[in-house]
Amino acid sequence: MSPIRLSDLAFTIQALMEDAFGQKAFWVFAETSDIKNYPDRGYCFLTLVERSGRDTLAKLEACIWRKNYHIIEQFEAATQVAFARNIKLLLLVSVAFNPVYGLRLEILRIDHSYTRGNLEQERQATLDALVRDHPDRVWLENGEYITANQVLPCPPVIQRVALIAAPGSDGLRDFRHELQHTIFGYRFTVDEYLCQVQGQGAERAIVGQLEKISGSGVHYDAVVMVRGGGSQLDFGSFDTYLLGQAVAGYNVPIITGIGHERNVSITDMLCHRSVKTPTKAAAWLIDHNRSFEESCLRLRDRLAAAARDALLSAREHLDIATERLRFVGHNYLRNRHTELTEKAVTIRHLDPSNVLRRGYALLLRHGRVQTKASALTAGDPVAIQLVDGLITATVTDIETNA
Amino acid sequence: MITYQEAYDQLLILVEEIENEEVPLDELPAKIRRATELVTFCQERLRAVEGEYQEIMEKMPKR
């Protein structure tokens, strides 16, 4: 066989490839590796790999041309995942061979639901692992994840705060601004523990700061973790096992405001309290303190009302007792009068002259009152006492009661 | 010194004694006089406490 030119070989390969693959497209599972993205020019080069443990089973160059470049943006919007290295994708690709650039897969479409499902599976696996490995930090109650950090008692007033944020970030600024401009005039002491809070490896930096806070010897009322101003993607760190276990078991209540509009990260699920944004995190602290002050004000009102009621009731009781005193004294004397009057009436009834006045008469013999007919004999001289005088008479006949 | 509550309790006992006519007539003036003293004492004490209450309420923070 005589030697041929490289280009002849290349064109031959190209022709064979064209025959074999032509306009066919394939759905393939692949993981992204090195990415060179040129948004300005509207194309992207990347490497697709398939791994099995530590082994690489396949590795092919791929590209997204300008006509399909919008699929990157669509993918990010739909999945909230940055189109970056080390993500698992389901891709529609065609195979192309160029004599100069070699074999290259052209990416035509990206399946969003596959990546979403994958992420969800990964998240679930992370949560399962946390519950399994750290039952003292994360456990399930009625299908909800409960953590040691969530059940920590929060001090009624939060004043000393450790803040984890990226240096110079909007999140840091928003949080501080909101905290300083509270209409209630609450003062907070905020110590900054600044570090990278997004992108690869951010979880290690954040956990490092949590350890630093623990080691500071300062008794913080709360740790606030904020992230804002960065991309809406790139929340991967907040879904990691490492940060999840650190947050779940942390011994100071952690409040997050990591600016995730749509999803709730594992860190959000496992921390003491999660709000959407850094501003809301500050507002939460203010509300928390405000509710303490309100409970004080309610107690104050209750105290005032109770004291007022006690005085009113004492006044009422005293008035009743005074009135009663007047009444019983009066009653007592009236009763004595009544008693005396009754006695006098009885006495008066018993007076013989009163009896005579009512028509009765007294029969006297030898000056003594006679009460029995049988004691008298016919012919006895008697005297009859009437109310107005004495009559002298003689007994002529006696008839005793049968 | 006697407290408001003690004075009030004594007053009630006297009132009840008189009401139940457990008091000999000759002792009535003394009992009534004592009861009246107790009423006066309670009135004064209550007024003083009400005054203090007002003073404290005026000093209580509003917000």
Q: What is the pLDDT of residues B18-52, one digit of tens each?
A: 999 899 999 999 999 999 999 999 999 999 999 99
pLDDT higher than threshold 80 for residue B62: no
Rounded Cα distance, B23 and B29, in Å: 10
Between chain A and chain B, the number of residue pairs with CB atoms below 8 A apart is: 53
A chain contacts of residue B61, beta-carbon cutoff 8 Å: 300
**Chosen domain end from A110, A140, A170:** A110
Provide the token pair at B4. 């408001």
pTM over cut 0.80: no
Q: Is residue A332 part of a domain?
A: no
Are A264 and A387 contained in the same domain?
Answer: no
Which of A308, A324, A336 is opposite residue B15, by nearest beta carbon?
A: A324
Rounded Cα distance, A285 and A291, in Å: 10
Q: Which domain holds residue A369?
A: 353-394
Q: Is residue B63 part of a domain?
A: no
Q: Is residue B15 part of a domain?
A: yes
Neighbours of A222 (CB within 10 A): 24
Q: Is residue B49 part of a domain?
A: yes
Residue A230: the pLDDT is 61
Mean pLDDT over each residue of chain A, to the nearest integer? 91
Residue A292, amino acid? F
- Residues contacting A155, CB < 8 A, separation 6+: A221
Contacts 24+ apart (CB under 8 A), A137-141: A137/A245, A137/A248, A137/A249, A138/A244, A138/A245, A138/A248, A138/A270
Which of A314, A331, A335 is opposite residue B46, by nearest beta carbon?
A: A314
Which of A315, A328, A336 is opposite residue B19, by nearest beta carbon?
A: A328
B chain contacts of residue A317, beta-carbon cutoff 8 Å: 8
Provide the token pair at A335. 């009763």
Share of chain A above pLDDT 90, in %: 69
Q: What is the largest CA-CA distance in chain A?
A: 201
User: What do you get for the CA distance between the two ends of chain B, in Å?
Assistant: 39
pLDDT higher than threshold 90 for residue A260: no
Which of A314, A322, A328 is opposite residue B18, by nearest beta carbon?
A: A328
ipTM confidence: 0.89
Residue A262: the pLDDT is 65
**Chosen domain end from A110, A140, A162:** A110
Tell which of A294, A318, A323, A337 to mutate to test the B interface (max B CBs under 10 Å): A318
DSSP string, A164-223: EE-TT-HHHHHHHHHHHT-TT----EEEEEE---SSTTHHHHHHHHHHHHHHT----SEE
Are A375 and A240 contained in the same domain?
Answer: no
Are A370 and A264 contained in the same domain?
Answer: no
Q: Is residue B45 part of a domain?
A: yes
Are A283 and A382 contained in the same domain?
Answer: no
| A287-306: average pLDDT | 92
Provide the phi-psi class of A148: left if phi over 0, else alpha when psi is between -120 and 50, else beta: alpha
A chain contacts of residue B35, beta-carbon cutoff 8 Å: 325
Q: Is residue B54 part of a domain?
A: yes
Which of A315, A325, A333 is opposite residue B15, by nearest beta carbon?
A: A325
Q: Is residue A311 part of a domain?
A: no
pLDDT higher than threshold 80 for residue A41: yes
A140 near A127, Cβ under 8 Å? Answer: no
A chain contacts of residue B9, beta-carbon cutoff 8 Å: none
Rounded Cα distance, A191 and B28, in Å: 79
Phi, psi of A368 (to 5 degrees): -110, 140
Q: Is residue B13 part of a domain?
A: yes
Nearest CA in chain B to A311: B50
| A248-256: average pLDDT | 96
User: A325–B42: do the CB atoms touch at under 8 Å?
Assistant: no
Share of chain A above pLDDT 70, in %: 98
Q: Is residue A27 part of a domain?
A: yes
Burial class (CB in 10 A: 0-12, 13-18, 19+), A131: middle
Q: Which domain holds residue B40?
A: 4-58
* CATH classification of the domain holding A53: 2.40.50.140
User: B4–A314: do the CB atoms touch at under 8 Å?
Assistant: yes
Q: Is residue A115 part of a domain?
A: no
Measured in angstroms, the CA of A303 and the nearest CA of chain B are apart by: 10
Provide the phi-psi class of A92: left if phi over 0, else alpha when psi is between -120 and 50, else beta: beta
Are A255 and A204 contained in the same domain?
Answer: yes
Q: Is residue B21 part of a domain?
A: yes
Q: Is residue B48 part of a domain?
A: yes
Residue B3, amino acid? T
Total domains, chain A: 3
Q: Is residue A188 part of a domain?
A: yes
Total domains, chain B: 1
Measured in angstroms, the CA of B2 and the nearest CA of chain A are apart by: 16
